Amino acid sequence: MTIFIAADHRGFELKNKLIEYIQEKNIRIEDLGAYEYNSVDDYPDFAKKVAEAVLQNPEEFLGIVICGSGVGVSITVNRFKGIRCGLGFKPDQVKHIREHDHINILSLASDYVDDAIAQKLVDSFLSTQPRKEEKYLRRVKKLDEI
């Protein structure tokens, strides 16, 4: 498994902390920016890189995108066919959206989650597998056909 992660200026600090956290778990993670704090950067530039990277091998790659609200980056990546991104706010909710909706990118709101909660959200995302029952596969197929 490889995780691709990116954030704009509002998610910059959280992204760097999560990279260290995930590396400590011996999970491969690639930083797709921002590489330095720039108060006027634009979240679509970074989110787009994560979507493109995940789509190279959707069976093996996952993504994490971060901005202040978590919504801008989520909107960006969900414009890519084959990407299913959900905004995480509770570990059980992240487990649910990974299992039922087969999210392959997790969006985080750096203005609304602290480091400890963000770590729990990431743990839930990375430790949960999509459910393979017919009803979930049927629903995801319908999403992919839109």
Residues with a catalytic annotation lie at 67, 100
CB burial of residue 52 (10 Å; 0-12, 13-18, 19+): middle
| Distance separating alpha carbons of residues 78 and 73, to the nearest angstrom | 9
| Distance separating alpha carbons of residues 121 and 94, to the nearest angstrom | 6
| Distance separating alpha carbons of residues 67 and 129, to the nearest angstrom | 25
| DSSP SS3 for 146 | coil
Strands 61-67 and 28-31: unpaired
